A and B are shown apart, each in its own frame.
Chain A
């Protein structure tokens, strides 16, 4: 599917196929959006704009809403209802319900069978497909790129633009191939790959680029693992990350509720097979990583780029050249109450959080359960396991994972973003340390004054059992 004989990358093919109007020197490009996902936190002001300007939603049939960010994950009451204690959150959820009703948008409301984290439900329902453009008022929309879709986060003004016109004003980003060679060692997973990439390039390293993850290690990953990697593209500054679709992708999509069926399926797969980057296609930049040398990763600072091999020690600000970079690391270590040269292995933690759009899918929960099975979590540690969706929750319960978690002494909760963004009351107390499978270790991200170490589900589960930061390879 070269164009005018020119080989193109996956990104270029998807972008070109969605250009309603090409960018010129004077005017921006206009990009058509196939799927718009909506949640309660970044949409209310966009709907207000529609009402103020007397506009309708152009394509409610290309739009889907769910509740995830400010929703409680506490157990259901005797009536099977998840109670909402926070009146402000309740008002925000009511607003989404009213907006979806008034504008004809389908909604997976709190506690209903398909509700969940927006980036878990899209793939799970088969809505996320190769070659599509997908946006949401959430930076982790990059997750959907695992399918070879162009998917990125937008602000609320842009949510309004897409609601009103199904289009976005865009300037074409640059492309970067992130080639991950080799094969992973036992105990090392997708989360470790992406944490290693971000540690290498920094949180601003991908700014202005769309990543395409290639290489032997990426090919060998499952769809859920690819989602973990694409999810955190934004933490490296890239708005989007993509993986070329292959048999793994097609197998995952087949049979899901919104997947094409029959002849439509065959036509879709035939199209999807044309999407991978052509031989000879060029990228603006290349980043390379050898997966075979990776160890479990962990962050020590207050952004996802401040990460290291779990066996390493905390770096010193004096090692950095830039004054602002030194100030930043110094500030981070003060916040984390860590010393340069300190090792994190063996450090006690207060909380372990297993969940978020990065690591709350069934395979993540299976990994965590494989470590917790037959063991108890350390008595001094609160362990929360939060499935990414109601469907993940049901499947985990069918497999008995909830029992493994409960018997180990962990909390098994309702689906939602939970302590990843700590908007719903699930949060750290000031000064507490947590190992978290989520995506951000920013100051206060998981609760004011809370201190987060980002890691994989395996590392989180191993830490939960021992009560101290643990190299999971010692438990395999």
Chain B
């Protein structure tokens, strides 16, 4: 995984609550065995009509949405299914961060493991961002993970929370699995001192 650096980009506003992972990527895109090409399925049923043509009124299809790397969406983003295909699809499409008032737990975990930043802001800030983006889609937003800040064009700076361990891994491009490997002795000790409850192999 590449280390996450500070970046500036335009954003898209999707002011809908409870955007579930079935919308982010419908189940029919899940019959794959790799992660390639999932960006094509991002918001597939919101982006395309029954004939597969792009719907011009959906925010992602508007000309000004091109190149946006930040998605601003309503509360409880990523609820529903545990499919990690959701962050894979967002990343595959080109998003680097999602800003919401809060995220569903599994989605947030999955996003952090793949370098997609889940940025939590308060409700007032969320509505401010939505109107700012809707008024001027060219608004540049700067995200700095090291400082845990989002900076708006006029210099307004917001601080966002992030789990310290996840932040360390993202900034350094470290896979979280490495931390578990470092616990090998503790894991072995745990197994030696705790009875196995069920064995799936006789």
Residue numbers of A with Cβ under 8 A of B are: 17, 20-21, 25-28, 30, 32, 34-35, 41-42, 44-45, 48, 53, 58, 60-64, 69-70, 86, 88-89, 91-92, 95, 104-106, 126-127, 129, 131-132, 137-139, 153-158, 160-161, 164-167, 169, 171, 173, 202-204, 207-208, 234-235, 237, 239, 258, 268, 303, 305, 322-325, 327-328, 331, 421-423, 430, 440, 442-445, 448-449
Contacts and interface: CB of A to CB of B under 8 A. Distances in A.
A41 B30 contact: yes
Contact of A165 (B109, B163, B183, B201): B183
Contact of B163 (A28, A166, A204, A444): A28
Contacts of A92: 31-33
B74 interface: yes
Given A139-B80, A303-B79, A423-B28, A204 B18 contact: yes
The listed residue with most B CB atoms (<10 A of its CB), out of A26, A126, A157, A324, is: A324
A442 B16 contact: no
B4 to A, nearest CB: 16
Contacts of A106: 200-201
Contact of A203 (B79, B194, B198, B199): B79
B66 interface: no
Given A20-B186, A61-B199, A127-B198, A323 B82 contact: no
B137 interface: no
Contacts of A70: 30-31
Contacts of A305: 18
A20 to B, nearest CB: 5
A92 B31 CA distance: 6
A327 B15 contact: yes
B183 A20 contact: yes
Contacts of A328: 16-18, 74
Contact of B76 (A153, A204, A449): A204
B15 A30 contact: no
Interface string B93-128: 000000000111110011001100000000000010
A48 B33 CA distance: 9
Contact of A204 (B45, B79, B164, B176): B79
B200 A127 contact: yes
A442 B16 CA distance: 13
A208 B161 CA distance: 15
Contacts, number: 219
Contacts of B179: 27-28, 169
A45 B165 contact: no
Contacts of A137: 82, 84
B46 to A, nearest CB: 8
Interface stretch (B19-27, B139-147, B148-156): B19-27
B50 interface: yes
Given A127-B198, A137-B82, A328-B17, A166 B27 contact: no
B18 A303 contact: yes
Interface in B180-202: 180-181, 183-184, 186-187, 190-191, 194, 196-201
Interface in B1-45: 15-18, 20, 22-23, 26-28, 30-35, 45
B30 A440 contact: no
Contacts of A32: 187, 190-191, 194
Interface residues on B, range: 35 or more
B197 to A, nearest CB: 5
A61 B200 contact: yes
The listed residue with most A CB atoms (<10 A of its CB), out of B26, B103, B180, is: B180
Contacts of B45: 443-444, 448
B190 to A, nearest CB: 5
A139 B106 contact: yes
A411 B27 CA distance: 23
Contacts of A58: 187
A331 B16 contact: yes
B69 interface: no
Contacts of B191: 32, 166
B200 A30 contact: no
Given A173-B105, A449-B50, 11 more contacts: A28-B179, A157-B176, A164-B180, A165-B183, A204-B75, A237-B79, A239-B106, A323-B127, A423-B30, A440-B81, A443-B22
A323 B15 contact: yes
Nearest to B103: A207
B55 interface: no
A139 B33 contact: no
B190 A20 contact: yes
Contact of A161 (B26, B103, B105, B180): B180
A155 B105 contact: no
B83 interface: yes
24 contacts: A26-B165, A30-B186, A34-B198, A61-B196, A61-B200, A92-B31, A92-B32, A106-B201, A132-B197, A155-B109, A161-B180, A165-B181, A167-B183, A204-B75, A204-B76, A239-B105, A258-B199, A303-B79, A325-B17, A328-B74, A423-B27, A423-B30, A440-B22, A444-B22
